Structure 1
């Protein structure tokens, strides 16, 4: 998402065998599409009202000689009318994380642990305590050991030294790319879930899998021809079903499209267990993690900064490497400047964290409101049989709008405090 926002100027959106071109980046597209859907639904309802009026006229006057000609004219007008389709929203993913089967404090702990391969440590002296509600994103250059640390936490690797302790009877959900290839190619998504829970009814399994896009015959098809995205969705579905107390996600969004990424992001925001995630998707990291750890130079420790600070750190390191042959005086001056900048960022970091958390709440409320309003665009919702559901959604819409307004106030207040502090530093 952030990548698209930075590099594209148009979005070509394909839906219902049609393609529509939007001007702007992905964020602009989301806003424009929501407006387009709202306008389309309004035009559809207006046209339906006009059609009903014409049909009523025809039915009343087609048998009367004085009005028969007018009635025929109206019928021809109705036949020539270009029909407007109701607003249609492709949102096949709707799932949430269940309450974990068991939560302990800590869920898992690493005490002075080291991890590596063939008795050669890749990361030393790891001290990590994971409790319910912890949300950690792992940062670091490729090859530094992020995936290795995840494997240690998951129990797939034993510590070379130190201790790894996990809470009694906890369930760990571990997602990694290699697990996509461990699915049984000749079996269906339904069969995979039934093997996990033989006592569940077929309908319950189908209902659950439907939230991950495996509807109808798709749930019965063999996994072999599935795309990478479909396999990733199935692995995630199997993890969610097990109600884990600890979720370990190693590049979970690699094969997922943007709609599934958004669904996963929203579900994780309500998750009550502990989360450790590795991802190159900055939008995903910003919205599902509260803390960052840096894995680099054989160490893993809390990173006192945000993703923008980490980006500057990486750029700074690259600049230092590129200019290593320059004069010591120049390098020393730049080093002092970087140190001063780092000290200032560290001083302002608590305020930035407040702004970040306010932004996450704001994004969450915006996403929830968009989800509700897309549901309200479904024309079948306005049928008499769905009266109670419509009433419930309208109440949710009002409550979410109120929460959104409060979130905006909180964000503005936090941003103003940070801005004043930054001005004072200058």
Structure 2
């Protein structure tokens, strides 16, 4: 096993490649490709011990026999076949020991050495060397000619034959076909296919590489990466990669242009309100960070609403609350196409209740709600995740919305939310919270609403999905009302802020920085004076009782955080232990093949479990923070 870990090689001040991390296992045949000067021969020199990596670690098992083709051939007077036999170093060592034992008349030693010579194939070595020479184009008469009598090209063939004669564990061949004719190339190709050791081959002959190699290490743009398969397989993978890069570049340019168009259009339309200017800044920042998300697995957009009545919905003199409790009084709100409203206010002030009234999920205690005839609401709230059919698939959920839709079209649509392949048919019961939230959003988008009511839509979503949602909402042509603790989302998709506080709904004349200041002032003032006075009059006994009730209320959330932290620590520790086991060269031996298979399987399970544990921990922390 040859193990490369973060290898960097320089020639003088010039970096050839860096960050090379891969493992070459026993018996693999590796083609090493890349433009001239990228570091292929330098990598060989490192394997031969002639230079050291400038960074990183290279390791291989001790006592491996590494063979390579010498670049120069001295003008020796020995015969060609003897020169080739010199490649079998074990044979030559045994022959020297035999000579010494004969001179010492050591019969026991002679018997042991003859047995060793037979075991090493010493009695057939001459025939093997002859076959090699013949296969590489030498005639029987040429086998006995002096090495010095051959020209440079033929001497290189002799060097190649000498390297092949070595019973090596690792064979390094740098452009071995350069001095061969077609017959010799075919012979060498067939010989290397049967070679039992590990082969590293530098060649620009694609047919040669295709027939022999099972992996390609390609050096390009100062990076060395390994690909599974022969050279044609590598070409296909590289072509796909380059096509993806081009597609990603084009996607990036489209996204930048798309966001820039919103910046330009919005600048022309926006008032001088602080939140409008805040949105312009957020849009400009989105343009700058677009490149960081070009490889995002998410790509979706809201289709234009079919109809856009004006106003879409109107709430007049409404009281909102539960039972006898009124949280918002005398609320009036008219929403028109293109409105992008963010709701601000303390927890419990009535933001979610307002959205529920607008969506029709709960009635107002008093007042009037008027919906336009062609109003089509898209409502997102956390409880909708619980309304998904856990035994059904993402594809099934969309098919319930559109019985006539082609499965291919639904699969393509779900792909934009990163439900791909078999995932579209999997039951959603085991899905993570983030996957379920993505599915609810997919269902919402597919229904093509003209009014979006979003109550904390980014809960459970990762950064890539949040960015994709922000971009999609920029393009959305209907009206938006959103409650969110994600300030980036609020800044980038809203241009009108409403404050829900103190039982009222009123415009907030400021941006999110101003709202932060408003919250600080409210906390400092202690809200209402009578509330503060009442708090001052609370007895110590009552205070202790309130603290106990608070601890009791928060206990399940604190327990959830502790449990999630313990799981993260447990899986992280096991991950480190598994990685330590995988760093042991002995695990890659033939006798440990099954153990390695189990180790790799467990490592994959632990990686997945750790990722889920970290998500659970973040969710638990967020739930506790909101409750506090």
Q: TM-score normalised by the shorter chain: which range applies?
A: 0.5 to 0.7
Which position in structure 2 is the counterpart of 1:369? none
Contact 1:115–1:159 (CA under 8 A) maintained in structure 2: yes
Out of 348, 353, 358, the position equivalent to 1:143 is 348
Q: Please state if 1:224 is matched with 2:429.
A: yes
Q: Please state if 1:124 is matched with 2:228.
A: no
Contact 1:101–1:170 (CA under 8 A) maintained in structure 2: no
Unaligned runs of 5+ in 1: 1-17, 20-38, 41-46, 55-61, 326-426
- Alignment partner of 1:231: what SS? helix
Which position in structure 2 is the counterpart of 1:71? 175
- Alignment partner of 1:295: what SS? strand
Which position in structure 2 is the counterpart of 1:168? 373
1:155 shift after superposition: 1.0
- Alignment partner of 2:526: what SS? helix
Q: Please state if 1:239 is matched with 2:444.
A: yes
Which position in structure 2 is the counterpart of 1:263? 468
1:320 shift after superposition: 2.0
- Residues 264 and 81 of structure 1: CA distance in aligned 2, closer, same or farther (over 3 Å): closer
Distance in 2 (alpha carbons) for counterparts of 1:204 and 1:278: 32
Which position in structure 2 is the counterpart of 1:320? 525
Which position in structure 2 is the counterpart of 1:84? 225
- Alignment partner of 2:517: what SS? helix
Distance in 2 (alpha carbons) for counterparts of 1:237 and 1:207: 12
1:73 shift after superposition: 8.8
Out of 203, 214, 238, the position equivalent to 2:408 is 203
Contact 2:393–2:428 (CA under 8 A) maintained in structure 1: yes
Out of 170, 177, 182, the position equivalent to 2:382 is 177
TM-score normalised to the size of structure 2?
0.41
Per-residue Cα deviation, 1:87-129 (whole angstroms, up to 9, x for no partner): 8875210000001122110011111111111143211111111
Contact 2:302–2:448 (CA under 8 A) maintained in structure 1: yes
Which position in structure 2 is the counterpart of 1:134? 339
- Residues 292 and 323 of structure 1: CA distance in aligned 2, closer, same or farther (over 3 Å): closer
1:157 shift after superposition: 1.5
Per-residue Cα deviation, 1:331-370 (whole angstroms, up to 9, x for no partner): xxxxxxxxxxxxxxxxxxxxxxxxxxxxxxxxxxxxxxxx
- Residues 171 and 50 of structure 1: CA distance in aligned 2, closer, same or farther (over 3 Å): farther
Contact 2:314–2:334 (CA under 8 A) maintained in structure 1: yes
1:158 shift after superposition: 1.4
Contact 1:172–1:244 (CA under 8 A) maintained in structure 2: yes
- Residues 81 and 169 of structure 1: CA distance in aligned 2, closer, same or farther (over 3 Å): closer
1:51 shift after superposition: 9.6
- Residues 195 and 52 of structure 1: CA distance in aligned 2, closer, same or farther (over 3 Å): farther
Distance in 1 (alpha carbons) for counterparts of 2:348 and 2:339: 25
Contact 1:246–1:274 (CA under 8 A) maintained in structure 2: yes
Which position in structure 2 is the counterpart of 1:104? 309
Q: More relative contact order in 1 or in 2 (CA 8 Å, sep 6+)?
A: 1
Contact 2:454–2:482 (CA under 8 A) maintained in structure 1: yes
Distance in 2 (alpha carbons) for counterparts of 1:137 and 1:180: 22
Unaligned runs of 5+ in 2: 7-17, 20-32, 41-135, 138-152, 161-173, 179-199, 204-215, 227-240, 246-293, 531-628
Distance in 2 (alpha carbons) for counterparts of 1:77 and 1:322: 76
- Residues 145 and 71 of structure 1: CA distance in aligned 2, closer, same or farther (over 3 Å): same
- Alignment partner of 1:72: what SS? coil
1:244 shift after superposition: 0.2
Contact 2:313–2:375 (CA under 8 A) maintained in structure 1: no
- Alignment partner of 1:292: what SS? strand
- Alignment partner of 1:192: what SS? helix
Per-residue Cα deviation, 1:260-289 (whole angstroms, up to 9, x for no partner): 000000000000000000000111110011
1:257 shift after superposition: 0.3
Which position in structure 2 is the counterpart of 1:371? none
Contact 2:316–2:369 (CA under 8 A) maintained in structure 1: yes
Residues matched between the structures, number: 277
- Alignment partner of 2:176: what SS? helix
Which position in structure 1 is the counterpart of 2:594? none
Per-residue Cα deviation, 1:388-417 (whole angstroms, up to 9, x for no partner): xxxxxxxxxxxxxxxxxxxxxxxxxxxxxx
1:170 shift after superposition: 1.7
Distance in 2 (alpha carbons) for counterparts of 1:265 and 1:154: 22
Distance in 1 (alpha carbons) for counterparts of 2:475 and 2:458: 18
Aligned alpha-carbon RMSD (Å): 3.3
Distance in 2 (alpha carbons) for counterparts of 1:67 and 1:166: 88
1:76 shift after superposition: 3.7
Distance in 1 (alpha carbons) for counterparts of 2:421 and 2:37: 34
- Alignment partner of 1:183: what SS? coil
Q: Please state if 1:291 is matched with 2:496.
A: yes
Contact 1:101–1:171 (CA under 8 A) maintained in structure 2: no
